[in-house]
Structure 1
């Protein structure tokens, strides 16, 4: 019980308070490494050709109707999802804006550099590794405490407002997004099911280890001083 109580928590801080909360160099590095790896993980799943991540099922449906790349669809939907933050009163930050752009660019770069392997074994490794890397990268950039990305802010906001675990909320969101994506003609596969079921538990398992403790004085600069249910 003592170890659990001592773990850092995700704080609701405004954009300036996030930057003033201490340990900024490490937090910035962790943020951008996490975002780049997140985009890489999405590209890995696409190149596996065994099923896209749930949000990318939606993105793949969108690009059937819009003349944009998958990464550009990621950026577009990021700003759409931000509108859902308003009723949840989620607090944006540098990480929020960075996520909306960096993940899409990283995904497109990965798709440019990585070809679909012919071997089924390599494709399975790509999809499994992509799912694991996505959960790890998500924990990294959320734990930097520089503002959650649009989709993960939706996850943490719903978890805090409903009192449900991140695992349950994330799984519910992913399943819903897949259904909408399928209606738009998006691509579904075994990798999609694996992602939808595993990403919540993976993120919840790695998040405590990557959550950086902030300067206690930053609490006075917070927007409400409430810890998120990370």
Structure 2
């Protein structure tokens, strides 16, 4: 997706705000302690085993996944690089600022807010049209090697979920809720927040895309 004729500031603002919100969403989900998305189960498991900050693990894992693009011949955009560099920082900032909720209703509030924030962040980030996230590029690269998008996505998600669970990452009701809700919510967010090419009508905006990981 390349919208080079768009005003750069508008696209850049959507990219940066979207990535910040996406990192914030992970911080909310971690504090909720009700289960994480598959990649974040892996991130948390690695963080627990190594003692490294979660945000650093997110950043390093994004870089490693980006290296896997080389044999797949995927091309990163500026949004891809910003994803690797900024999401982890936003995660750590959120964890530093948010207290650990003690009551179950407040934990559920964190969970629901985290899912919605992730969808809004995705709508802004993907809607900026400045490049896929490293994990999505892995999926599309495998798809170009003969796998269907559905099979590639399922294989990746189940693999990282299993690895993360074995490493001690939190799997729970939040994992299921996120998997069920993030697609429909992201589609709504993209329809309202994506930046269309110059001269395009609102109806031609992007209406669906994968999670920008």
Q: Same fold (TM over 0.5)?
A: yes
What's the counterpart of residue 127 of structure 1?
111
Alignment of 1:1-40 (within 5 A): 11=1, 13=2, 20-40=4-24
1:144 aligns with 2:128: yes
Residues in 1 aligned to 2:155 and 2:187: alpha-carbon distance in whole angstroms? 14
1:200 aligns with 2:183: yes
Shift of 1:190: 1.3
- Give yes or no for contact 1:71–1:104 (8 Å, CA) kept in 2: yes
Residues in 2 aligned to 1:149 and 1:80: alpha-carbon distance in whole angstroms? 12
Structure 2 length as normaliser, TM-score?
A: 0.81
Q: Which stretch shows the higher mean deviation, 182-191 or 22-31?
A: 182-191
**Runs (5+) with no aligned partner, structure 2:** 200-205
The verdict on how the C-alpha distance between 1:139 and 1:102 changes in structure 2, with shifts beyond 3 A counting, is same
Match for 2:163 among 180, 183, 186? 180
The verdict on how the C-alpha distance between 1:190 and 1:111 changes in structure 2, with shifts beyond 3 A counting, is same
Shift of 1:169: 6.1
Structure 1 length as normaliser, TM-score?
A: 0.76
Residues in 2 aligned to 1:38 and 1:107: alpha-carbon distance in whole angstroms? 8
Shift of 1:21: 3.0
- Give yes or no for contact 1:131–1:195 (8 Å, CA) kept in 2: yes
**Runs (5+) with no aligned partner, structure 1:** 1-10, 217-226
Give CA deviations for 1:38-75 in whole Å, capped at 9, x if unaligned: 01000000111111232121011112332310000000
What's the counterpart of residue 99 of structure 2?
115
- Give yes or no for contact 2:140–2:149 (8 Å, CA) kept in 1: no
- Give yes or no for contact 1:171–1:200 (8 Å, CA) kept in 2: no
Shift of 1:159: 6.4
- Give yes or no for contact 1:171–1:199 (8 Å, CA) kept in 2: no
SS of equivalent residue, structure 2 residue 36: coil
Shift of 1:186: 1.8
1:105 aligns with 2:89: yes
Give CA deviations for 1:49-106 in whole Å, capped at 9, x if unaligned: 1112321210111123323100000001001111332354433111111111111001
- Give yes or no for contact 1:171–1:197 (8 Å, CA) kept in 2: no
Residues in 1 aligned to 2:75 and 2:16: alpha-carbon distance in whole angstroms? 19
Query: How many residues align structurally?
Result: 201
Shift of 1:158: 5.4
Residues in 2 aligned to 1:183 and 1:214: alpha-carbon distance in whole angstroms? 44
